[in-house]
Amino acid sequence: MKIMSINAGSSSLKFSLFNMETEEVIATGLFERIGIEGSCYTIKYNGEKHKGESEMKDHTAAVDLLLEKLHELHIVESLDEIGGVGHRIVNGKDLFDRSVVVDDEVMKKLESIIELAPLHNGANVSGIKAFQKILPNVPMIAVFDTAFHQTMDEESYMYAVPYEWYTKYGIRKYGAHGTSHRYITERVEEIYNRKDLKLISCHIGSGASLAAIKDGKCVDTSMGFTPLAGIMMGTRSGDVDPSIIPFVMKKEGKTIDDIINDLNKHSGLLGLSEISSDMRDIEAACEEGNQKAILAFNKFNRRIADYIAQYYVLLGGVNAIVFTAGIGEKGPKTRSEVCKRLECLGVKINEEENNKREDFMKISTEDSKIDVYVIATDEELMIARDTYELIK
């Protein structure tokens, strides 16, 4: 059976097509600038890239073009070969603790919580509707970034704010990157051949979050009500004193939306370094002795180590720390600096192993008290697996 994983953005649509008998990736692609002048697409298939430009006024047009290209390139001979479509949903509130088949009731719930992640959830819903319109007889599956974190207890997910904010408006920690953290959890369970493990999963990319995991279940995670909380990221501030917001509003004459935009898009590595949100640019500037870049680099690594140390105490010890996602998988300097800050916990890494570029590596030494791994995450595969299982 062929299953498609979909990640719809406000003006983009990313897809992966899997053969679920082997879990092999058949094709991947990205459709960009949907609803904007200059719409274009890239499809990777059979070792080749197929690029083109075509007007896509909305997500339905993008899906129509995608399916047309799948047939035209002989990736599928018939649309009947597509057995199901799994859709990434950023925030499922506390309404969904697992992936679900999309029906009318699920769609009503999804539309009711768009405001919790308006830039993402609205686009995710648009993606589902587009596929439903063109493939009405194919099952649609919703896979939630927040579902894995629904095992957190009240101590972890509640904020110390008026309780009625929670009962009235659902103000609580939801987390993010749950599909990635779940993938890492399952991979580590395979490595150890057991589930009774204490694990810290570090999804470190442009957006970044950590999760404390015990016996296969999330105990706590760094992102909060929105993906703005937690460690500093490429352009996001992470945790800050909320009193900063009204203070800067008065000083700069900005609105609340302006400040939230600054915290989301002009902070983090970009804000501190005033150079770039890309860690590769930061590291290059550090080599040149740029003090702001050095500050940003050190602060970034410190915040990761801070959360690992916090979760070490919360879990009462740790079997393994795993680095994943863009920087986690491809940033040996970040991994090295974070682990140096954890030496008091008995963490030791082999720098020769750490400097390799592989999808799976154990980088800790034999005498390290905590195992440290680098594991390439695969959220698309997790979406496809959930879709396949629900369809079966």
Q: Annotated catalytic sites, by residue?
A: 145
Task: Extract the tokens encoding 331.
Answer: 């940033």
Classify strands 100-101 and 82-89 as parallel, antiparallel or unpaired: unpaired
The residue type of 389 is: E
Q: In this structure, what are the phi and psi dihedrals at residue 276, rounded to the nearest 5 degrees?
A: -165, 160
Give me the residue label for tokens 């690992």.
Answer: 308
Give me the residue label for tokens 């018939």.
Answer: 78
Task: Extract the tokens encoding 102.
Answer: 């999309």
Question: What's the full length of the chain, in residues?
Answer: 392
Closest CA to 79 of 17, 143, 123: 17
Closest CA to 304 of 178, 176, 205, 157: 205
Question: In three state form, how does the secondary structure of the chain look?
Answer: CEEEEEEECCCCEEEEEEECCCCEEEEEEEEECCCCCCCEEEEEECCEEEEEECCCCCHHHHHHHHHHHHHHCCCCCCHHHEEEEEEEECCCCCCCCCCEECCHHHHHHHHHCHHHCHHHHHHHHHHHHHHHHHCCCCCEEEEECCHHHHHCCHHHHCCCCCHHHHHHHCCCCCCCCHHHHHHHHHHHHHHHCCCCCEEEEEEECCCEEEEEEECCEEEEECCCCCCCCCCCCCCCCCCCCCCHHHHHHHHHCCCHHHHHHHHHHCCHHHHHHCCCCCHHHHHHHHHCCCHHHHHHHHHHHHHHHHHHHHHHHHHCCCCEEEEEHHHHHHCHHHHHHHHHCCHHHCCCECHHHHCCCCCEEECECCCCCCEEEEECCCHHHHHHHHHHHHHC
